Amino acid sequence: MSSTPSGPTTSKADDDQSSSSRQPLHWGHLLAKLGAANIDRRWIFLLMLLAVGIPVLTKATFPEKPTANVKAVFNHIEELKPGSRVLVSMDYDPASAAELNPMAVSFLRHLASRGHKIYLMTLWPAASPLINENTNEVLNDEFAEKNLEYGKDWMFLGYQAGEVVAIKKVADNLRALFPTDARGTSLENIPMMEGIHKLKDFDLLLNVSAGYPGAKEWVQYATTTTRTPMAVGCTGVQGPQLYPYIPDRVLGILAAIKGAAEYEAALSEKYPRFAEPKLNEGLQRMGPQLWAHLLMICLIVTGNILYVLSRCFPLNVYGVGANSHRADVTPAQGGPA
């Protein structure tokens, strides 16, 4: 009678799996395992905080090269003869000030530097305090040596309701819409209003727009009929709606904070007095955007690389994956008859 050896037996599959687990690990396997790890998302939040916070705290700026759109606006204002009449409609509110205020301030600096007559107005009720703040900061403080006089060098017509109707009225008969300025003075008593009755009497229209009513409505209901040259500063989401109007209806567009930063760069190059970092909010705000976007791109690229590696170097090398869930022993089928 022969005896059968007792004790655990190993199958060939077990031997192969044990043999593979003892093989030296390829660097691809290590990266693949890293990609499969459940990384706490708070590490990503921390990286984003550093990418945004450090440039904000250090006020770091980076060189900007003005695009053709920005150059077209800048060059047109440069080429206007001193004393030209420019209507500036600032149609935005505090919710969009972070994006649009830098370009509004840059427009005022450029116009004042060139000696143009500045006529301010708005179709948005919440814009009046912003306009007062900008004129005090730029025209009264930064250009104190020029002693710019209200009513002769610049003025604020104020806010008017009516949206599209108001725009049409400016195009046809501005004095009917604004019988007085924002200070309650009759337009008849303001020297720089002499000869100004409608939009066509201005040499240029600048519109800083956050939405409706704004740049699109100015084009459709005013400059299309009057043919008054127009340039626009707008939010990023408005840009695609306005690009088709270039160059027939709009000279150029400053889109979002990027457009403001490019205009600040052009202004600083032409007028070095504006090159101080504290005067260039647009350039300062591009720093956090730059590093945040670079971080996002790096995370996307890294995630895709790790995914590809996980496909090229299956994780069952570590005893993890589809093969590790297979049963190595098949239950006996049938039995003694």
Strands across the sheet containing 117-122: 154-159, 117-122, 85-91, 204-209, 230-234, 253-255
pLDDT score of 43: 87
pLDDT score of 317: 45
pLDDT score of 41: 84
Predicted model pTM: 0.79
pLDDT score of 324: 42
pLDDT score of 305: 82
- Those residues of the chain that have pLDDT short of 70 are 1-38, 313-337
pLDDT score of 298: 93
pLDDT score of 304: 85
pLDDT score of 143: 96
pLDDT score of 60: 81
